[in-house]
């Protein structure tokens, strides 16, 4: 099929490239000409393992191209995907839908043939009705068939998630459209994904409810982890035991710092905003947001306790600053909060990050980037393992001991067994285990 993806951000680019890889002809469009020029020479603007190779392969066989011309690209395509950003608005809660509506208005003005318009951007309940209204007005014979098709890709695992999803959700009540999208997703359905067609509004809510549920699951295990620290229990034992019950499920039960990233914080806030619009209470999601914000404070307090409340001039090294491994994304990463607080309290903060230096910290003179892991790990009072990158899973502790006098490690991802440190002069602290194990 001939597809056009409008927006080459995370969702648009990954989905567009993956659809080309399963045999479709795809044009990825962006209004940012510089980005398109870079994509055309194989310079990929996002960090996603495997994506660059996949772009090259599909451009070479002529199935994938990049363009700045929305109207020409949309005219050539059977299905047009809207995949532009829906960031949090200036009010700090609702989703800013201006980019989505601008695309709809441009399509309405310039496209005269019938098209399927698929919304992949994460949009609140009722948005596709508004898009439909922009595109079709009140006409009964609709030229544009508007469909909701939320994405569930995780950064760092996006290609795998695209090719082997648990489900594909399509929100539409048009049988022909559902059949067409079923055919488009057939290679993925054949590998085991469940194709679920619902109403458009349900599809919109499925996306937000799923993210809010996963955020709840993480916050829940984080709260249990706090109890474990006080009650001399290992949270991993609890998570494994809970997860063995298929009703609970073992995934997303890893205790750690506050969850972050481009989706959970933004989508939970937007869901609350939607619920208010419908005069409904989402008290659970509300308390998850509150708990997650407090989690940063809780971890900060633990760090202060570990350093015996003497933070000034202490050397603190962060291993990883991205919100999770296999991404270069620092949006809403707990490290941003923790580094800012510790540096304000007078700590000298170093950080090593496998995806390189982050401009975000440039203005903070108490924060220094190290491009070499073991240079960063020299002469510290505290090493904080913040992100679960593979290269932090087998650190050379002999070298660490040699290069640090009396160092403490605070492992926010529980990468190590605390027993390992029992006979060493490294003080090891982790999450949801007896605190001073």
Give the footprint of ligand UDX on this chain (CB under 6 A).
151-155, 211, 214, 218, 252-254, 256, 259-261, 263-264, 323-324
- Nearest approach in angstroms of CB 42 to ligand UDX is 24
Give 46 or 143: the residue with its C-beta nearer to ligand UDX: 46
Which of the following is catalytic: 4, 28, 228, 263? 263
DSSP E strands: which ranges in 386-437? 408-411, 427-430
Which two structure tokens, joined as six digits, stand for 363? 């203005």
Give 252 or 427: the residue with its C-beta nearer to ligand UDX: 252
- Nearest approach in angstroms of CB 148 to ligand UDX is 14
How many angstroms separate the CA atoms of 208 and 129, rounded? Answer: 17
Give 35 or 324: the residue with its C-beta nearer to ligand UDX: 324
The answer to whether 116 and 171 are in contact (CB under 8 A) is: no
How many angstroms separate the CA atoms of 291 and 220, rounded? Answer: 9
DSSP characters over 274-301: HHHHTT---HHHHHHHHHHHHHHHHHHH
Which parts of 313-437 fold into alpha helices (H)? 334-344, 373-376, 397-403
Identify the helix (H) or strand (E) that includes residue 33: helix 33-40
Token pair 């601008």 is found at 102
Which are the contacts of 201, defined by CB distance < 8 A and separation ≥ 6?
125, 126, 128, 129, 148, 171
Give 19 or 259: the residue with its C-beta nearer to ligand UDX: 259
How many angstroms separate the CA atoms of 333 and 318, rounded? Answer: 12
How many angstroms separate the CA atoms of 132 and 200, rounded? Answer: 11
Question: Could you give the 3-state DSSP secondary structure of residue 269?
Answer: helix
Beta-carbon count within 10 A of 165 CB: 19
DSSP 152: -
Whether 317 is catalytic is no
- Nearest approach in angstroms of CB 329 to ligand UDX is 8
Give 30 or 329: the residue with its C-beta nearer to ligand UDX: 329
Phi, psi of 206 (to 5 degrees): -55, -45
- Nearest approach in angstroms of CB 389 to ligand UDX is 12
Give 55 or 336: the residue with its C-beta nearer to ligand UDX: 336
- Nearest approach in angstroms of CB 156 to ligand UDX is 7
- Nearest approach in angstroms of CB 167 to ligand UDX is 11
How many angstroms separate the CA atoms of 389 and 320, rounded? Answer: 7
Give 8 or 268: the residue with its C-beta nearer to ligand UDX: 268
- Nearest approach in angstroms of CB 124 to ligand UDX is 15
How many angstroms separate the CA atoms of 164 and 395, rounded? Answer: 32
Terminal Cα distance for the chain, rounded: 58
Beta-carbon count within 10 A of 53 CB: 12
Name the residue with the smallest CB distance to ligand UDX: 263
What are the residue numbers of the active site? 263
């Amino acid at each position: 099929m001939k597809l056009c993806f409008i927006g080459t951000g995370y969702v648009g680019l990954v989905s567009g490239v993956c659809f080309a890889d399963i045999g479709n002809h795809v044009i990825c469009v962006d209004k940012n000409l510089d980005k398109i020029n870079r994509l055309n020479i194989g310079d990929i603007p996002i960090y996603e393992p495997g994506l660059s190779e996949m772009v090259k392969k599909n451009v070479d066989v002529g199935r994938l191209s990049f363009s700045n011309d929305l109207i020409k690209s949309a005219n050539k395509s059977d299905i047009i995907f809207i995949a532009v950003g829906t960031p949090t608005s200036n009010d700090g809660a609702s989703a800013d839908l201006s980019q989505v509506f601008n695309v709809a208005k441009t399509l309405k003005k310039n496209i005269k043939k019938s098209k399927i318009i698929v919304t992949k951007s994460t949009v609140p309940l009722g948005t596709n009705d508004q898009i439909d209204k922009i595109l079709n007005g009140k006409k009964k014979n609709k030229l544009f068939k508007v469909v909701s098709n939320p994405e569930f890709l995780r950064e760092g695992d996006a290609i795998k998630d695209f090719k082997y999803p648990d489900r594909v959700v399509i929100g539409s009540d048009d049988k022909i459209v559902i059949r067409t999208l079923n055919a488009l997703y057939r290679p993925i359905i054949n590998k085991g994904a469940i194709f679920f067609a619902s109403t458009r509004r349900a599809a919109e809510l499925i996306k937000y409810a799923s993210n809010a549920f996963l955020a709840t699951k993480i916050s829940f295990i984080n709260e249990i982890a706090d109890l474990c620290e006080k009650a001399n229990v290992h949270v991993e034992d609890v998570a494994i035991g809970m997860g063995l019950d298929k009703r609970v499920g073992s995934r997303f039960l890893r205790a750690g710092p506050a969850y972050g990233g481009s989706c959970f914080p933004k989508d939970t806030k937007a869901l609350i905003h939607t619920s208010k619009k419908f005069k409904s209470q989402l008290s659970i999601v509300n308390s998850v947001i509150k708990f997650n914000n407090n989690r940063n404070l809780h971890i900060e307090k633990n760090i202060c306790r570990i350093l015996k409340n003497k933070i000034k001039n202490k050397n603190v090294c962060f291993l990883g600053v991205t919100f999770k491994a296999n991404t270069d994304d620092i949006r809403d990463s707990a490290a941003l909060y923790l580094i800012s607080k510790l540096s304000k309290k007078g700590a000298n903060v170093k950080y090593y990050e496998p995806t390189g230096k982050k401009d975000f910290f440039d203005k903070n003179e108490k924060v220094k980037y190290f491009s070499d892991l073991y240079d960063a790990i020299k002469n510290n009072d505290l090493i904080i393992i913040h992100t679960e990158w593979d290269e932090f899973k087998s650190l050379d502790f002999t070298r660490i001991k040699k290069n640090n006098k009396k160092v403490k490690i605070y492992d926010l991802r529980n990468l190590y067994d605390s027993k390992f440190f029992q006979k060493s002069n490294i003080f090891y602290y982790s999450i949801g285990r007896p605190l001073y194990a």
